[in-house]
Amino acid sequence: MTQPRFAVIPASYVALVREPASSPDASAGVEGGVEVLLQLRSGTTYMDGWWACGAAGHVEQGETVLEAAAREAQEELGIELDPADLRLEVVTQRTCAIPSGLEERLDLFLTARRWSGEPTIQEPDKAGELRWWPLAALPDKVVPHERAALDTIAARRHTSTEGPTPKTTATPTFHSFGFTQTLTLIAAVGRNGVIGDGEQMPWHLPEDLRFFKSTTMGGTLVMGRGTWDSIGRALPGRRTIVVTRDRYWSAPGAEVAHSLREALMIAGDGEVFIAGGGQIYAQTIEHAHRLIITEVDLEPEGATRFPDIDPALWQEIDRIAGDAPVTAWVTYERTYERTGERTDR
């Protein structure tokens, strides 16, 4: 089947770097070394509370990548950059398991060691803070694909002091991000399709809890706030990302995302287990690669249901019998996994 063409959105990222003779950074506990200017995202509704490159934005029609970078630096930091002083370091192509125009990106990361003016926040509605960080000791919460690029820049050891704009023949590094991300929906479902009442689990099934643990151990879980509350804690041996609209919510052992798109960005490549609740299952089943369903021979009351499993889209590939009230643990794969066709990206 013919796939839709990749509609790329190009973006320029500007990493201002400096190498002062002596620059102790008390907050990071690192003295000297190359530093990079980062901004703390705030008020953008996406990845707020995470550190990002000092300036970034889409390449507009008629602009080169270098011209876009210089424009963004002026608009966001109030500084003047000569495009000739910019160095292309990393090219990242990224997506996620729920593709959209917003996530099909080509990101170009450029460094600059020379500029005019003092960097200051020009868009206070989008940035809460500017701070210099040692490249070798970045903060924990750096936007994941930007973290990967900055780590690469650090590894390239672009620290020559032979002039303000070192010249080398090194080619940019290419990264891909999100192209191996897959979604597996895992749920226990009653005969009537009910998975809960919106507040707590409708049953206690020790055998299924053991199955859930063995299946997801070492993996990444994405769940809604209600599912987290019904469990009551972080599950050991697994990474847990909780989706909530509450900008102030936090809990020990939980990574917080304020949208499903953010959660998948944080999760990165590899298999991601979607663990509930009903709204998140409904938003992800169209793009899932596997379903792992515990069939429960009960009909609990509740308004939260698992989406219908369309036999035209899903093929049962494994069934393990359980002990009552668990009828079986059933694994489904999308039909394209067997035909080779892909319909979700």
CA distances (Å), 9 to each of 54, 58, 131, 287, in order? 20, 7, 28, 21
Instruction: Give the pLDDT of the chain (345 residues) as one tens digit per residue.
Output: 455 566 678 999 999 999 865 444 434 434 458 999 999 999 998 899 999 999 999 999 999 999 999 999 999 999 999 999 999 999 999 999 987 766 788 999 999 999 999 999 999 999 999 999 999 999 999 999 999 999 999 998 644 444 444 444 468 999 999 999 999 999 999 999 999 876 778 889 999 999 999 999 999 999 999 999 999 999 999 999 999 999 899 999 999 999 999 999 999 999 999 999 999 999 999 999 999 999 999 999 888 999 999 999 999 999 999 999 999 999 999 986 444 444 444
Contact 11, 106 (CB under 8 A): yes
Q: Residue 270: give the domain boundaries.
A: 182-339
316 and 253 belong to one structural domain:
yes
162 and 223 belong to one structural domain:
no
Domain count, the chain: 2
Three-state secondary structure call for residue 29: coil
Contact 54, 41 (CB under 8 A): no
Domain end position, chosen among 149, 177, 205: 177
Q: Does some domain include residue 345?
A: no
Identify whether 325 is preceded by a cis peptide bond (ω within 30 of 0).
yes
- pLDDT at residue 201 in the model: 82
132 and 250 belong to one structural domain:
no
Q: Are strands 9-18 and 105-112 parallel, antiparallel or unpaired?
A: parallel
Helix, strand, coil share of the chain (percent; to 5): 20, 35, 45
- pLDDT at residue 20 in the model: 67
Residue 293: name the closest of 280, 279, 281 by CA: 281
Q: What are phi and psi of 25, to 5 degrees?
A: -115, 100
Q: What are phi and psi of 296, to 5 degrees?
A: -110, 125
Contact 51, 143 (CB under 8 A): yes
Token look-up 């929906």 returns 185
- pLDDT at residue 32 in the model: 53
Burial of 33 (0-12, 13-18, 19+ CB in 10 A): middle
CATH code for the domain in which residue 190 is found = 3.40.430.10
- pLDDT at residue 8 in the model: 75
What is the C-alpha to C-alpha distance for residues 260 and 264, in angstroms, rounded to an integer? 6
CATH code for the domain in which residue 131 is found = 3.90.79.10
188 and 172 belong to one structural domain:
no
Two tokens, residue 125:
């509605």
What is the C-alpha to C-alpha distance for residues 56 and 259, in angstroms, rounded to an integer? 21
What is the C-alpha to C-alpha distance for residues 84 and 86, in angstroms, rounded to an integer? 6
23 and 105 belong to one structural domain:
yes
- Number of helices and strands (H, E) in the chain? 7, 18
CB atoms within 10 A of CB 125: 9
Domain end position, chosen among 177, 208, 224: 177
Residue 75's Cβ-side half-sphere holds a number of Cα atoms within 13 Å equal to: 13
152 and 195 belong to one structural domain:
no
Token look-up 């000791």 returns 137
Q: Does some domain include residue 3?
A: no
Q: Does some domain include residue 1?
A: no
First to last CA, the chain: 12
Domain end position, chosen among 177, 211, 231: 177
161 and 249 belong to one structural domain:
no
Two tokens, residue 183:
């979604």
Token look-up 């991000």 returns 177
187 and 325 belong to one structural domain:
yes
